[in-house]
Structure 1
Amino acid sequence: MAYVHFTEEQKQRANSVDLVDFLQRQGEQLVRSGREWRWKRYDSVTVRGNEWFRHSRKEGGHAIDFVQQFYDLSFPDAVTLLLGGESGVEWNQTDKSAPPPRKEFMLPEASQDMRRVFAYLIKQRFISNEVLSHFAHENLLYEDKEYHNAVFVGRDENGIARHAHKRGTYTNGKTYKGNAEGSDPRYSFHWIGKSDTLYVFEAPVDMLSFITLYPKNWKQHSYVTLDGVSEHAMVRQLELNPHLKSIVLCLDHDEAGIEAVGRLKDILIKKDYTDVSVLQSTYKDWNEDLKARHGILPIPAEKHPKLELLPYICAELSVLCESLSVYKDIHSLITECEEVVKPLMTSGKTVGENAKAVKKCLKCMAAGSLLLLENQCRQMECPVTRNQLIRKLQTSYRPHEDRGWLRTKAEDIRRDLADIEKQRNTPGIRSVEDQNQLSRSYLRLALDCVKAWMFVEMEIPTMLPVLEQNVNFIMTV
């Protein structure tokens, strides 16, 4: 592809394109969600002006990387598309997606009683009357006057309300839920006790369901909701309450919850919390467990699809390592595979047409990396078996770190190979740390090849119809 130059002014204009307008011009369906718009095709993605965020993976950005991510385009192609083609004329902007002026936080006006809230939470959600009465008495739960929503209040260290999560009490259709305008995410619904244990949940109903399921001495412990899967409320309560040393992550038993647990554990470890555990509901969440106890058919738990696929990939790697062990020059084999696979990984459509070849190359590169790691450990007089290395690979995989599309993964592999080549060609005797670094680089290359392999296995088949549609659209620009 010929080099395409864009001025800083062109890149700035491309990056400032209104994504709501951009998507709607292509016939995409968007739904208002507070100050943002939710994309129906990917319901975890919200856009606002020129910004986007993918909540399931905790990643986001602006217009250019949005088009690169979701339309599988290179940087030049993304900028060209956003600028409207060769003429450099940007998309006509509209004001229909402009967010309303931000309001100061105010609690919704309270109803004179809580009959609808109590009826909903007790009869529909099976939450304990005693638990609800406690939080109502503490002014942390009430019914709003206008819509009769359940309002879960989050207060700061001075007892001032800073956050309000609203949950609809009508049972017909999809239940409303959302936050009051101006809510501070650091102070979502919580309870702080005197013990050293903090239980972490996604939403207030989850927290109250858990307390109902496990009521013994519950007031002695601490509980916090994350307003989704954001860490801010958890981190803030730990800052304010240094007596909290043991953190139990009790997020939903689904793909997003599993990824969030891994991400939160990493955050806690970086903050020197060593007593971090995970407690999963039997069904999708704690309220589903509570429903099951009362004879209601619960929504089942969801396993993470990549964690389900990983053992099969590792088993295949074990067989492949045995086959490749006869090769004398594994480095050259890996380089040859990378040269074959790199151009194919630059386009989702091309990968779809050559999926078998791409997977074969990625498998060989992953297995070859493990064989080089095995040899490196032998040279360091720390021999390990291949099964041990494959187990190490499997336990090193973190689904919340497996982000980005195929082009990003191809770049990760290219960077891994460049690092390895640089380390191998450095003159002189390698120190112990140099040898350990090379070992880590081999493992990282194997892991990045596995991530790309899983992407081709799981994502490409579902992407092809969308990619075909996008290609047809781009050809008309």
Structure 2
Amino acid sequence: MAEYVHFTDEQKQRANSVDLVDFLRRQGEQIIRSGREWRWKRHDSVTIRGNRWFRHSAGQGGLAIDFVQEFYGLSFPDAVTLLLGGEQGTAFRQSDKKVPETERKEFILPEAADNMRRVYAYLLKQRYIDRDVLTHFVREKKIYEDKEYHNAVFVGCDENGTARHAHKRGTYSNAAGYRGNVEGSDPKYSFNYIGTSDTLYVFEAPIDMLSFITLHKNGWQQHSYVALDGVAEHAMLHVLSKNMYLKNVVLCLDHDPAGIEASGRLAGILHEKGYTSVSCLQPACKDWNEDLKAQHGITPIPAKPHPKLEACKELCGEIRYLCGHIKSVKNPHEMLMEHYEKAVLLMQLSRSTDGQKAFLVEQLLSMTVYALFAVIVQYRQLEKPMNFKQLTDELCRSYHPHQDRGKLKTKAEDIQQDVNAINARLNTFGIRTLEDKQKLIASYMSLALNCVKALIFICLEEQEQRIEALQKQNEERSDYMQAVCEEFLQPGI
């Protein structure tokens, strides 16, 4: 039986009040102003205003939750979770100002203990933080031990040095990793250090930040660091706004699917804010403290790559191989449309056989290949050298898992939008300008990317089905063995 996910009325109200323009921009979508409303470029029949949307082609509309269910193919619980930021703690701007907000409690730092024996023991002996680094923050009164529970408290201060935020971390070795923020904490002022160079390093948690500094101790005080206490952008943006000389941002989030997606989302936000020097630096293991543990001979938690990114890399390699083994194509657009007509019908099916899925994969791969051939043709007309390795590398770089949402039906709509855009550009009379050709190239590349997204969805769905089937077999085998054992244990047998 599926697990029931309960949301309070207040949570559902907040989810339904999310500003859809803000939401779509966070997903990397393009929104165009249309009078007092906004028009979604990917679905030009959809207009948006605040938390409301309307699809003119279908004569339907609704609020934010309906929107995510309709266009991202998510269930009600998944839609609400996405709008509320999910496990990653992302908060989207609210549109409906009438939604009551919980009054923030007064921020009071926990009372400090008489000494810091447990915090020092925990951070030095279990987390392997460098003593000099730890002592620096202790002297700055940014780390201390609370009296009641002996938690490590990481303090964030405002520009005047006043404590405005505190994150608590349990120090008992047998504890299940307690952590949480002190009530009333202002998320803009999380644990940080401001240096003099133009570089800001961004982390998920204070211990990640301290671990990174320990690993890169030489000259560490020149640079700036901030711990987000999750992956919300508020603290990072606040540090940048108050220290205008910070130009280079290095995202050092966890090496797992959540951290990878958050890095992509934060990079997008930074680019929107005008920051051009944004990079990602991943730990070799799951996080920076695991890297530090590994240096001390402790078996670390390994990194967990994003399954969508791994699938994308494999597919781009296969696409490059296919492109290299096709000698020439007289009319790539014609071939593209031929495979599109076969694929589009299959993508609309609610259920499909294994044979139909395999056939669909062939069509999508062919569409991607011929879209890239069409791009090559356009570049030749521009007398600009381009090869398939460059194009598939660009295809792989342009894929961001945090922007890849929804079911196969949604991806079919995206592909159809791209095909319509391409045909509209090709059917325009007159000589194409340089800008026209560049837009046509962008449309073909968008189509290729959306085909890859559809292929990734099919690939991962098949993997999940195989895993579920294997788990079911194991459960049935376990039940059978248990029944056999019980039978033999009965009296008289």
> Normalising by structure 2, what TM-score?
0.72
Q: Please state if 1:49 is matched with 2:12.
A: yes
Structure 2 Cα separation of the partners of residues 404 and 183 of structure 1:
35
Q: Which residue of 2 aligns with 1:4?
A: none
Cα–Cα, structure 1 residues 348 and 240, in superposed 2: closer, same or farther, change >3 Å?
farther
Note if contact 2:72-2:410 (Cα within 8 Å) is conserved in structure 1: no
Cα–Cα, structure 1 residues 233 and 121, in superposed 2: closer, same or farther, change >3 Å?
same
Cα–Cα, structure 1 residues 321 and 294, in superposed 2: closer, same or farther, change >3 Å?
closer
Within the candidate set 426, 433, 436, 1:434 is matched to 436
Note if contact 1:348-1:406 (Cα within 8 Å) is conserved in structure 2: no
Q: Which residue of 1 aligns with 2:379?
A: 377
Structure 2 Cα separation of the partners of residues 165 and 354 of structure 1:
52
Cα–Cα, structure 1 residues 219 and 376, in superposed 2: closer, same or farther, change >3 Å?
closer
Structure 1 Cα separation of the partners of residues 176 and 214 of structure 2:
24
Note if contact 2:311-2:459 (Cα within 8 Å) is conserved in structure 1: no
The residue matched to 1:381 in structure 2 has which SS?
Answer: coil
Structure 1 Cα separation of the partners of residues 215 and 432 of structure 2:
57
Cα–Cα, structure 1 residues 402 and 139, in superposed 2: closer, same or farther, change >3 Å?
same
Give the AA of the match of 1:28. Answer: E
Within the candidate set 423, 426, 429, 2:425 is matched to 423
**Equivalence map 1:174-253=2 (5 Å):** 174-253=176-255
**Equivalence map 1:251-270=2 (5 Å):** 251-270=253-272
Q: Please state if 1:129 is matched with 2:92.
A: no
Q: Which residue of 1 aligns with 2:284?
A: 282
**Equivalence map 1:317-332=2 (5 Å):** 317-321=319-323, 328-332=330-334
Note if contact 2:68-2:74 (Cα within 8 Å) is conserved in structure 1: no
Deviation string for 1:61-111 (max 9, x for gaps)?
A: 95435655887579xxx9xxxxxxxxxxxxxxxxxxxx9954424234223
Give the AA of the match of 2:3. Answer: E
**Equivalence map 1:117-196=2 (5 Å):** 117-196=119-198
Cα–Cα, structure 1 residues 232 and 392, in superposed 2: closer, same or farther, change >3 Å?
same
Unaligned runs of 5+ in 1: 1-25, 38-46, 79-98, 467-477
Cα–Cα, structure 1 residues 62 and 433, in superposed 2: closer, same or farther, change >3 Å?
closer
Cα–Cα, structure 1 residues 339 and 177, in superposed 2: closer, same or farther, change >3 Å?
farther
Within the candidate set 395, 408, 411, 1:409 is matched to 411
Cα–Cα, structure 1 residues 165 and 424, in superposed 2: closer, same or farther, change >3 Å?
same
Deviation string for 1:364-384 (max 9, x for gaps)?
A: 111111111111222223242
Structure 2 Cα separation of the partners of residues 145 and 49 of structure 1:
38
Structure 2 Cα separation of the partners of residues 429 and 326 of structure 1:
25
- Tell me how far 1:228 sits from its aligned partner: 1.7
Note if contact 2:71-2:410 (Cα within 8 Å) is conserved in structure 1: no
Structure 2 Cα separation of the partners of residues 408 and 446 of structure 1:
15
Give the AA of the match of 2:448. Answer: A
Q: Please state if 1:111 is matched with 2:86.
A: no
Structure 2 Cα separation of the partners of residues 444 and 356 of structure 1:
23
Give the AA of the match of 2:389. Answer: N
Within the candidate set 16, 25, 28, 2:3 is matched to 28
Identity of aligned residues (%): 49
Q: Which residue of 2 aligns with 1:340?
A: 342
Note if contact 2:26-2:268 (Cα within 8 Å) is conserved in structure 1: no
How many residue pairs get aligned? The number is: 404
Give the AA of the match of 2:422. Answer: I
Unaligned runs of 5+ in 2: 28-50, 52-62, 80-99, 469-493
Cα–Cα, structure 1 residues 306 and 387, in superposed 2: closer, same or farther, change >3 Å?
same
Deviation string for 1:144-194 (max 9, x for gaps)?
A: 333332221212222233222221222225212222334322221101122
